[in-house]
Structure 1
Amino acid sequence: MTGVRLAVGIVALEFAAAVTGFVASTLLPVVAADLDAKDSLGLLIAGSTLGLFVALPLASRVLARLGPRGTLAAGMTAYLGGLLLAAVSRSAWMFALGQFTAGLASGLLAVFGISSAIRHLDDSLRIRVVAASSAMWIVPALVGPAATLGLEHLVGWRWTLLLPVPFVLFGRLLVVRATRGDPSPDDPPRPLLKTLSIPLGATCVVFSMGFWPLALAGAAITVVGMIAILPAGTARLRPGTPAALGAMVLFAIGYFGADSLITVLLTTGFGVSLGQAAIVLSAAPLGWAVTSLVATRFTSALFPFVGLSLTALGTAVLALGGSFTLALVAWTVAGIGVGLAYPGLYIRATTADSSGFTAAELATAVITAECVGQLLGRAVGGALSTSVTGLFASYSLFAMALAAAAIAARRSR
């Protein structure tokens, strides 16, 4: 029964994540224009992920100091406070600080279930959770961008930014109720300095503002930190579980980096309206969700490789520019590819093999891998996207990361 409750909580949080993602991506061009931050996109899109990563090594320490109730109260208060700060912001820096605070709170609250919950789910239930979580993106993909734009016209982007709050609080409370009887995790705390080196490096990339030595140094610091905290063999794509984790990092760099900037690319680089950009924005998550529901009913060792190759192809097409129709088709193909690849790749990355990793290590590692990839992809994409040429260059980089993920997926079999 506990496993089922945890699964329901995780699925509810995925729905909340879908709502949050569509609101943020749809509003990005509007926020950037209103805050005069078109040259500081990295500040707008990387703040929440930076906060999440800073929280990862602190969560267990805060839990030990404040206890479950105190951590829950602090996390909920910080989340609401951060979102309100972003909503009333008058500059990109204030908006980024608000998003950072909300991300930090989300990382603290994750101690109540995400990594520990995955450890309690057997393989059959985990694959169902993956499929159900993917399905949670269907409704937000269909109505999220249109509803966000409609609400933005009615009340402005600041009030619209608060739309995800009820969904996030509901999902988080479900997970808390499901795990409140569990003993406190006895896993050793994450290494503080090694883990914090990742957001430190990403911050250098975000704040580089076109100064390439600082951007390259920041990227190097992030990669070194990632190698230090992920399981041995991940950086070398050692066949088996390490290669699957490496593929997760590369996938997150390419896909989530591209997804975070898609509305800006279309409105600035393709010259389409925000309404048309919102339609394209929905295409990939919808393709991902529907294809995942089908892919989980079948098994094929080639699904991760083929799927990631399709995603790389769709992203590469976007890097060439073109029309609204071309962008819609390309991003739909990219989403279908993720739906085909993700379930099998996720199971490979969280299933112990002859390498000797424990379930706890893998549950933590797969979350870390995706977070590192998202952080690096958004930071680098935001740093590059200070011009139209930079936007298209960033999508070329995302496509190469996805192609590398496909190769890594072949080694994970």
Structure 2
Amino acid sequence: MSRKVDDRRLAVGIVALEFAAAVSTFVASTLLPIIAADLGARDRLGLLIAGGTLGLFVAMPLAGTVLRRLGAGRTLALGTVFYVGGLVVAATAQHAWVFALGQFTAGAAGGLLAVFGISVAIRRLSVRLRLKVVAASSAMWILPAMVGPAATLALEHVAGWRWALLAPVPVVLAGRFLVVSAVRGEAAPSGDGRHLRPAGLLVPAGAAAVVLADGVWLAAAAGALAAVAGTVVLLPAGTARLRRGAPAALAAMTLFGAGYGGADSLITVLLTDEYGVGPARAAVVLSAAPIAWALTSLLVTRAAPERQVPAAGLALTAAAAAVLAAGPREFAAALVAWTVGGAGVGLAYPGLYLRSTTPPASLAPAAPRREALAAELATAVITAEAIGGLLGRAGGGALASLDDGAPVAYGAFAITLALGALAATRSRAPLCP
């Protein structure tokens, strides 16, 4: 009974953390055009949007080591100080690079806590409870999506974007405390050391090169190649070759993170620049996709996992990104397209997440190899989505920083999501002989 209670507490902590992430995401996306204009950084969008994700990814390989050496309590204290300090630096920045440094610090501090908690959850929770956590986590985006952008704009109007940027801090800290308390006493995953290999540093180094290339496309291309090489090293064997089952699902998750994560981070910039709408109407479109995602996800997780359609969902989201890239420059068209894109993610994400973290059925449930593989997949799915999001924000920000570059970025996102749909067609595990 005690184990069940602990698992439920852990599940609640993960869901609370997702709510905190939703609040932070909507605040950052809503304020992006305003921050870019105030800091004179319209041509440095990658620097503004990739800093936090870059910090998170740098922290991922360090999380287990820090927790083993400092313990959950000290790690929580250290992460809290650096998280708040980083956001204060970003909120008081007068230059884009200072803003990015603050976001990087806050992202790294949050990563020290978040990665360990989610990894433990995936390893400990049953498939049934994992699906419920995924569905509940999706639902946590509904209220922030409905209220967050409007509340952020209202606070920005009254107090300015700097205070609005700090508004999510209490919510984020509450989520972090819940997760850390739920996993207190849990040993850090022993597999963390594999991510300390030097080749793994190619991902953040390559993404940073893309962000800092500043129009030098040879440097940006070299950075992108380095990031792809690092991704191949970090993810399990067979991922790059789209081996059937979890490896192909992880490849699809990486491409999803790049395509959807990049598109979602730049949607307000696309609308204000290319569609000529104000921040309030852009915020409406920003909210549409996660609401559709959450509601669709809640519906599909009631069906059997084998009936879920990750490939079709990602293809639908790819089509939505293509419409935003080349469709009519009408507010209604953007609203419908991005709502459909969110529904596509809702169709794809639960099944894709489950397939990414499920070892082959050929392994006995109690086999040591199955338990070791489950731990590896738990870390891999976090890594895959984080890498995808980092590369999508970095690359998309670099493209969107060009003159009339936002539609080009959305064309790239559409292609990336279409490739994710192709990878997802191989995500179903092969039948046992």
Shorter-chain TM-score tier: over 0.9
1:347 paired residue among 332, 351, 354:
354
Three-state SS of the structure 1 residue aligned to 2:285 is helix
Cα distance per residue 1:170-221 (max 9 Å; x no partner): 1111111111132343334122412221100000000111111011100000
Residue 283 of structure 2 corresponds to residue 278 of structure 1: yes
Indicate if the aligned counterparts of 2:46 and 2:401 stay in contact, CA closer than 8 A.
no
Indicate if the aligned counterparts of 1:112 and 1:175 stay in contact, CA closer than 8 A.
no
Number of the residue aligned with 2:339 = 332
Structure 1 residue 70 displacement after superposition: 2.0
Number of the residue aligned with 2:98 = 94
Structure 1 residue 132 displacement after superposition: 0.3
1:141 paired residue among 145, 149, 168:
145
Indicate if the aligned counterparts of 2:155 and 2:164 stay in contact, CA closer than 8 A.
yes
Indicate if the aligned counterparts of 2:300 and 2:308 stay in contact, CA closer than 8 A.
no
Following the alignment from structure 1 to structure 2, what is the Cα–Cα distance between the partners of residues 319 and 111?
Answer: 33
Indicate if the aligned counterparts of 1:22 and 1:145 stay in contact, CA closer than 8 A.
yes
The residue correspondences of 1:113-132 to structure 2 (distance < 5 A) are: 113-132=117-136
Number of the residue aligned with 2:408 = 393
Code of the residue aligned with 1:335 in structure 2: it is G
Following the alignment from structure 1 to structure 2, what is the Cα–Cα distance between the partners of residues 112 and 302?
Answer: 28
1:237 paired residue among 237, 242, 248:
242
Following the alignment from structure 1 to structure 2, what is the Cα–Cα distance between the partners of residues 207 and 187?
Answer: 32
TM-score, with normalisation over the residues of structure 2? 0.93
Residue 186 of structure 2 corresponds to residue 182 of structure 1: yes
Cα distance per residue 1:226-285 (max 9 Å; x no partner): 000100010111111100000000111100000000000000011111111000000100
Cα distance per residue 1:72-100 (max 9 Å; x no partner): 11111000000000000000010000000
Distance 1:214 1:167, change over 3 A: same
Aligned residues: 413
Code of the residue aligned with 2:237 in structure 1: it is A
Gaps spanning 5+ residues in structure 2: where? Answer: 364-369, 429-433
Code of the residue aligned with 1:218 in structure 2: it is G
Indicate if the aligned counterparts of 2:56 and 2:110 stay in contact, CA closer than 8 A.
yes
2:422 paired residue among 407, 410, 413:
407
Indicate if the aligned counterparts of 1:72 and 1:109 stay in contact, CA closer than 8 A.
yes
Gaps spanning 5+ residues in structure 1: where? Answer: none
The residue correspondences of 1:75-224 to structure 2 (distance < 5 A) are: 75-189=79-193, 190-224=195-229
Indicate if the aligned counterparts of 2:116 and 2:188 stay in contact, CA closer than 8 A.
no
Number of the residue aligned with 1:262 = 267
Number of the residue aligned with 2:394 = 379
Following the alignment from structure 1 to structure 2, what is the Cα–Cα distance between the partners of residues 79 and 229?
Answer: 26
Following the alignment from structure 1 to structure 2, what is the Cα–Cα distance between the partners of residues 219 and 387?
Answer: 17
1:72 paired residue among 50, 71, 76:
76
Indicate if the aligned counterparts of 1:57 and 1:196 stay in contact, CA closer than 8 A.
no
The residue correspondences of 1:8-27 to structure 2 (distance < 5 A) are: 8-27=12-31
Structure 1 residue 112 displacement after superposition: 4.4
Three-state SS of the structure 1 residue aligned to 2:213 is coil
Indicate if the aligned counterparts of 2:258 and 2:390 stay in contact, CA closer than 8 A.
yes
Cα distance per residue 1:44-90 (max 9 Å; x no partner): 00000110111111222222332322221111100000000000000
Indicate if the aligned counterparts of 1:47 and 1:103 stay in contact, CA closer than 8 A.
yes
Three-state SS of the structure 2 residue aligned to 1:39 is helix
Number of the residue aligned with 1:361 = 376
Residue 313 of structure 2 corresponds to residue 307 of structure 1: yes
Following the alignment from structure 2 to structure 1, what is the Cα–Cα distance between the partners of residues 13 and 102?
Answer: 26
TM-score, with normalisation over the residues of structure 1? 0.98
Following the alignment from structure 1 to structure 2, what is the Cα–Cα distance between the partners of residues 344 and 257?
Answer: 21
Indicate if the aligned counterparts of 1:138 and 1:285 stay in contact, CA closer than 8 A.
yes
Structure 1 residue 305 displacement after superposition: 1.4
Indicate if the aligned counterparts of 2:76 and 2:177 stay in contact, CA closer than 8 A.
no
Identity across aligned pairs (percent)?
63
Distance 1:184 1:259, change over 3 A: closer
Indicate if the aligned counterparts of 1:243 and 1:411 stay in contact, CA closer than 8 A.
yes
Following the alignment from structure 1 to structure 2, what is the Cα–Cα distance between the partners of residues 127 and 82?
Answer: 34
Indicate if the aligned counterparts of 1:247 and 1:408 stay in contact, CA closer than 8 A.
yes
Indicate if the aligned counterparts of 1:35 and 1:92 stay in contact, CA closer than 8 A.
yes
Following the alignment from structure 1 to structure 2, what is the Cα–Cα distance between the partners of residues 409 and 302?
Answer: 11
Following the alignment from structure 1 to structure 2, what is the Cα–Cα distance between the partners of residues 185 and 371?
Answer: 18
Following the alignment from structure 1 to structure 2, what is the Cα–Cα distance between the partners of residues 374 and 145?
Answer: 21
Number of the residue aligned with 2:324 = 318
Three-state SS of the structure 2 residue aligned to 1:57 is helix
Following the alignment from structure 2 to structure 1, what is the Cα–Cα distance between the partners of residues 220 and 116?
Answer: 35
Residue 60 of structure 2 corresponds to residue 56 of structure 1: yes
Indicate if the aligned counterparts of 2:44 and 2:397 stay in contact, CA closer than 8 A.
yes
Three-state SS of the structure 2 residue aligned to 1:187 is helix
